[in-house]
Structure 1
Amino acid sequence: MIDYSAQTLVPLPVVLPLFAAGLTLALWRYPRAQRIISVTTLSLMVAAAVGLVVAADSGPVVVNVGGWAAPVGIDLVADRLSALMLLVSSVVMLVVLLYSLGQGVADGDEATPVAIYHPTYLVLAAGVSNAFLAGDLFNLYVGFEILLVASYVLLTLGGTAERIRAGAVYVVVALLSSIIFLVAVALTYAATGTVNLAQLAIRLPDVDPGVQLVIHILLLLAFGIKAAIFPLSAWLPDSYPTAPAPVTAVFAGLLTKVGIYAIIRTQTLLFPDGRADDVLMVLGLATMLVGILGAVAQDDIKRLLSFTLVSHIGFMVFGIAMGTTAGYSAAIFYVVHHITVQTTLFLVVGLVERVGGTTSLDRLGGLARIAPGLAILFFIPAMNLAGIPPLSGFLGKVGLIEEGVRQGTVLTWILVAGSVLTSLLTLYAIVKAWNKAFWQTAPEDIQPVRLPRGMVGPTAGIVTLGVGLTLVAGPLYGYTDRAADTLTDGYTYVEAVFPDGATRGDGVSDDPDADDTVEIGGEG
């Protein structure tokens, strides 16, 4: 039976922020109205995402946009994975918005023009939601393009030379990724006659293996750039640290995970044969090690965190590369953990910069005495990122390592060793930053500063949320297990999109007596 109440929720995370973006742009002369609209919209998105998480636990919820059924029309699909990603992203974006309001980012500061900030931020929220809900490759491409436009504007807010330079690098890399993605979409349509993900799951196994491989490589290249997987990650540490603290926080916590989501979706639905698993394992290991070695070498806390961001993408790739239900479950759990913790750390660093006037570790010190509350706000998520028991970072890594040991191949054992080494080096890098910023002798020009409650409140809230992930790790892991089951069974997604029969959606005979047996992802 179709749950029409749940169906009404599916388009809301896309439609609401787009409508609100236009409204806030029209009200550019009224900052207070913009703030109310933005906060209300993101709060409604969180509520809708909660409803979708509950509804999708009983099965994917599908909406055919404009009433045109797939594969003719555009469909939005909320399954367990996309609903969970929507919830986490909506919560993070709401917290970051509240933080930015507390900082005065949206109050007419010269560095962040209010007339631009709110509409662009809401467009970014719509792009993220559209990417998570997209039921076809081209709509996924559209979601990425919305992200590109909005993120470029946010990255260059204020128009300083440093931000324009970083934004130029970012947009060139993003455009390269978009071109590769568009070529992959075109090739996919030429080979199969469709870009609908559910229909592709049926048709791709019949395509020439060489063509399949080319499509697979192109998609991995496009998504790998967006996810900052080595060797496609060099752009990230130079681009993110120059933006305002709230922008850096939402970029670091969320945007790379959209690329990871796209990899999970296409690997499980379109290419479940595992031909690229070994390559992904090697790339995952390289991403871990290169990223964390870069972090260890940094003397600026923003760049240090940017390199740890790259490094921990490797853990997620490790889970994907194992290609099992347990591997995918651990990877999804780690994505949820990392979005929350990485965003938290960049928000805390914004507070550190406000107190110390810099993010250079050589010019900071004594913050534990000057701002003891800030020391606590940094220490908790920092230890979580490093994977100290019993925090969620530790639990996510244990899940990945346990599955790697269970598989017992040479590559998985190497990845297990790489994961342990990366965790130890992460702890070293974080402790170095902690000691220098909070415990070394304070420079004479650093004076106690009263931090705005509007900034401290959202930061404390998301720190609490990070700790809360540990407290609900059991139910959360249960949900990610069920999400991984849906991803790997090959049928649930297709049957939700084509409720009258996947083969009929594929143009096969509607005769109920006909043989409707098909292969989805290579498994009959």
Structure 2
Amino acid sequence: MTWLVPLPVVLPLLGAALTLMMARRPRAQRTVSLSVLTVTLLVSGALLWLSTVEGPQVVAVGGWVAPLGIVLVADQLAALMLVVSAAVTVCVLVYSIGQGMADGSEDTPLSVYHPTYLVLTAGVTNAFLAGDLFNLYVGFEILLVASYVLLTLGGTASRIRAGTTYVVVSLLSSVIFLTAIGLVYAATGTLNLAQLASRLDELPDGLRLILQAMLLLAFGIKAAVFPLSSWLPDSYPTAPAPVTAVFAGLLTKVGVYAIIRTETLLFPGGRATSVLLVAALLTMLVGILGAVAQTDIKRLLSFTLVSHIGYLLFGVGLATQLGLASAIFYVVHHITVQTTLFLAAGLIEQRGGSSALDKLGGLAKLSPVLAVLFLVPALNLAGIPPFSGFLGKLGLIQAGVADGSVLAWLLVIGGVLTSLLTLYAVARVWNLAFWRTPHPDMPRATLPRLMVWPTVALVALGVGLTVVAGPLFDIGDQAAGDLLKRSGYVEAVFGGGQ
């Protein structure tokens, strides 16, 4: 059933074309978008099952076999990322429809929103399935174009300013990535990841380190790794709540995914692992210190987003099976929880008229449902037992202790400190926005059901990760083992011939 592999890319692109032709029919746009993303979720689930039972699913686009043509590869890691991203995009789309109705614009929404949202989804899925560096680059560029349009929806001065910063930084990253691709091809004669797995091993250590550093630099910018992360807190909070939520949940994780894929498949045991561990520690601490200092919920969550990227790099930098398995588990957790928190922030803004903490108060009494929708994912993010955030961090700490190096122990201490400061940051939001006396100028708006129910679904999904933590960690452990062995991926791409 390898014919399923291209569908997560093809379906959103076809849906984008259809919704673009339906620019004057908003209801038809909504129906097509929801249908396409629901089918994409089902296909992604099927690919996860197939990759678990039968191994990586590979398709040579156009019949051009590897390494001559473009291949799409759905192994366990890619399929798991597809499932989580599809679930998140469906919920965020429903939320955005509810927000449009709440703003009185259900009959006159921006006609470009649905096509662009579907193109963004196609870019995400293409990046996850890419079997060569250039197709991965194409996925990033699709993301860049679509995300810039979504970021600047409405054309306000703040959004245009934030969008300009975002696109300049993203273009810089793309130039570095494209330069690295050119150098890799010049040195090896191929861009196919499976073939590069062997050819890069034959290069001199110095050249190999340069190529690795350039790819890490490009992906580090996209993943918002410190000190390449300053653009994110200035860009994300200005966008509409659903746009910020899907950006926070997915876009930085595509960069993390690219780091995981290249570090394990192309540069196993490379000399950059120590750099990754240092970057992980700094990303954790600088990000969470920035969050503690914020007075706006969206900016605070943007800094926590940066901070928790450090946990993912922690697992990758350890380069052990337990570390990678914990990082994969934490990616799934973080996509779900971070998206949920930004949707909850949008509900707070809808109910209280602002996301600034000094203009909020009393929301726990005024809207108990909203209080629960914020509190549960906030505790999950902070790593309070028995939530999935605690389980993911526990796995990373165990991997760090098992490593036993000085850097690993520093990261264990830094991870615990970051978790405590995350708890302090979200507790401060809870105290100011939910407990104290309501601000006299705070409006008494109601929460639309189509905004509440998708948030409820993601809160339930975040809690559900705790229930299925065992099977999910088993999938992560198996995926990590396959990543470290490399042979399964290479044999799947070449059919056992090379």
Shorter chain as denominator, the TM-score bin is over 0.9
Deviation at 1:422, TM superposition (A): 0.3
Find the partner of 1:192 among 160, 183, 188.
188
- SS of residue in 2 equivalent to 1:63: strand
- SS of residue in 1 equivalent to 2:246: helix
Could you say which residue in structure 2 is the equivalent of 1:85?
81
Provide the C-alpha distance between the structure 2 equivalents of 1:101 and 1:250, rounded to a whole number of angstroms: 14
Could you say which residue in structure 2 is the equivalent of 1:512?
none
Find the partner of 1:20 among 10, 15, 26.
15
**8 Å Cα contact 1:274-1:323 kept in structure 2:** no
**8 Å Cα contact 2:359-2:441 kept in structure 1:** no
The one-letter code of the counterpart of 1:229 is: V
Give the structure with higher Rg (CA).
1
Q: 1:352 to 1:481 in 2, by over 3 A?
A: same
Provide the C-alpha distance between the structure 1 equivalents of 2:80 and 2:272, rounded to a whole number of angstroms: 26
Deviation at 1:213, TM superposition (A): 1.0
- Give the alignment of 1:416-455 within 5 angstroms: 416-455=412-451
Deviations 1:11-45 (A, max 9, x none): 00000000110110011011111000000000000
Structure 1: any 5+ residue segments left out of the alignment? 503-524
Could you say which residue in structure 1 is the equivalent of 2:3?
8
Structure 2: any 5+ residue segments left out of the alignment? none
The one-letter code of the counterpart of 1:463 is: V
- SS of residue in 2 equivalent to 1:299: coil
Which shows bigger deviation, 278-287 or 97-106?
97-106
Deviations 1:416-474 (A, max 9, x none): 00000000000000100111000111111224332111111111011000000000000
Provide the C-alpha distance between the structure 2 equivalents of 1:336 and 1:108, rounded to a whole number of angstroms: 34
Deviation at 1:105, TM superposition (A): 6.7
**8 Å Cα contact 1:68-1:74 kept in structure 2:** yes
Provide the C-alpha distance between the structure 2 equivalents of 1:409 and 1:209, rounded to a whole number of angstroms: 24
Moved over 4 A (4+): 105-108
- SS of residue in 2 equivalent to 1:262: helix
Matched, 1:468 2:464: yes
Could you say which residue in structure 1 is the equivalent of 2:92?
96
**8 Å Cα contact 1:60-1:79 kept in structure 2:** yes
Provide the C-alpha distance between the structure 2 equivalents of 1:107 and 1:124, rounded to a whole number of angstroms: 24
Deviation at 1:266, TM superposition (A): 0.2
Q: 1:306 to 1:105 in 2, by over 3 A?
A: farther
Deviations 1:228-251 (A, max 9, x none): 000000000000000000000000
Deviation at 1:202, TM superposition (A): 1.2
Provide the C-alpha distance between the structure 2 equivalents of 1:23 and 1:360, rounded to a whole number of angstroms: 39
- SS of residue in 2 equivalent to 1:62: strand
Give the TM-score normalised by structure 1: 0.93
Alignment size in residue pairs: 497
Find the partner of 2:51 among 56, 72, 92.
56
The one-letter code of the counterpart of 2:49 is: V
Give the TM-score normalised by structure 2: 0.98
- SS of residue in 2 equivalent to 1:263: helix
Which shows bigger deviation, 213-222 or 448-457?
448-457
Matched, 1:401 2:362: no
Provide the C-alpha distance between the structure 1 equivalents of 2:103 and 2:203, rounded to a whole number of angstroms: 55
Provide the C-alpha distance between the structure 2 equivalents of 1:105 and 1:50, rounded to a whole number of angstroms: 31
Provide the C-alpha distance between the structure 1 equivalents of 2:496 and 2:474, rounded to a whole number of angstroms: 30
Find the partner of 1:46 among 26, 29, 41.
41
Find the partner of 1:264 among 250, 255, 260.
260
Provide the C-alpha distance between the structure 2 equivalents of 1:74 and 1:223, rounded to a whole number of angstroms: 21
Could you say which residue in structure 2 is the equivalent of 1:217?
213
Matched, 1:390 2:386: yes
**8 Å Cα contact 1:100-1:106 kept in structure 2:** no
Provide the C-alpha distance between the structure 1 equivalents of 2:84 and 2:296, rounded to a whole number of angstroms: 28
Find the partner of 1:119 among 103, 115, 121.
115
Provide the C-alpha distance between the structure 1 equivalents of 2:130 and 2:439, rounded to a whole number of angstroms: 51
Provide the C-alpha distance between the structure 2 equivalents of 1:435 and 1:9, rounded to a whole number of angstroms: 48
Deviations 1:365-386 (A, max 9, x none): 0101111110011000000000
- Give the alignment of 1:76-475 within 5 angstroms: 76-104=72-100, 109=105, 113-475=109-471
- CA RMSD across the alignment: 1.3
Could you say which residue in structure 2 is the equivalent of 1:482?
478
Provide the C-alpha distance between the structure 2 equivalents of 1:262 and 1:436, rounded to a whole number of angstroms: 38
Deviations 1:186-232 (A, max 9, x none): 00000000000000001111112221111100000000000000000
Could you say which residue in structure 2 is the equivalent of 1:511?
none
Provide the C-alpha distance between the structure 1 equivalents of 2:350 and 2:189, rounded to a whole number of angstroms: 55
Provide the C-alpha distance between the structure 1 equivalents of 2:51 and 2:367, rounded to a whole number of angstroms: 44
Find the partner of 1:32 among 27, 36, 49.
27
The one-letter code of the counterpart of 1:132 is: F
Deviation at 1:115, TM superposition (A): 1.0
